[in-house]
Amino acid sequence: MNRQEVLDKVEGLRLVPVVKLDRVDDALPLCGALCEGGLPVAEITFRTAAAEESIRKVTAAYPDMFVGAGTVINVEQAKRAVDAGAKFLVSPGISRAVTEWALDQGITIFPGTCTPSEVMIALEYDLPVVKFFPAVQYGGLKTIKALAAPFPTIRFMPTGGINADNVKEYLAFDKIIACGGSWMVKDSLIKEGAFDKIRDLTAEAVALTK
């Protein structure tokens, strides 16, 4: 997928579940629950050793699901993620090495930013969308609106502290392309195998984005 196709997909979905998997065996039932709940997208984070194989299994089993890799902090992880089938990359901060590798490969990347200086680095690479992380801890919507004023060409994907109580407020601001969230895919629910609950929470989350 080219960058515009990825951005259109993200904007259409409005919400990107941020997934941490400790066990590869949980990947397929979890992503099945997301799809059944009406949200066929997952940012599978490289916080655990299960990430790479989970991405590989999910992209094979659910070819129409929009799967990306999160918490990508170095080029080696970026390569493994893309080789496994990730369609996009998300980083907690902005790394020139990772960003340049992604751009060279034609892979869409959403680097993490939370300051004007970091947004300016993203602009050096002509990136149209950045992650804003950790959103709530760095001032939330007020800070995003403040950053949007001097950088009118940039849009944001806030992640960190987004939940069912505040997601509508974030999505109402036109400079926000989508929100990243994990409240429907909580660690505890995954570990308990509560995939029906994840499906239901996902459906409720989707309803909030309409």
| Separation between Cα atoms, residue 198 and residue 186, nearest integer Å | 8
User: Which residue of the set 9, 20, 43, 52 is catalytic?
Assistant: 43
- What pLDDT, on a 0 to 100 scale, did the predictor assign at position 176? 98
Clarify whether 76 is annotated catalytic: no
Q: Summarize pLDDT for 57-95 with one digit per residue, the tens.
A: 999 999 999 999 999 999 999 999 999 999 999 999 999
Mean pLDDT of 104-133: 98
Mean pLDDT of 114-138: 98
- What pLDDT, on a 0 to 100 scale, did the predictor assign at position 74? 98
- What pLDDT, on a 0 to 100 scale, did the predictor assign at position 141? 98
Clarify whether 9 is annotated catalytic: no
- What pLDDT, on a 0 to 100 scale, did the predictor assign at position 54? 98
User: Which residue of the set 20, 87, 131, 175 is catalytic?
Assistant: 131
- What pLDDT, on a 0 to 100 scale, did the predictor assign at position 195? 98
CA dihedral 148, 149, 151, 153 (to 10 degrees): 70
- Give me the residues paired with residue 129 across strands: 155
How much of the chain exceeds pLDDT 90, in percent? Answer: 100
| Separation between Cα atoms, residue 151 and residue 66, nearest integer Å | 28
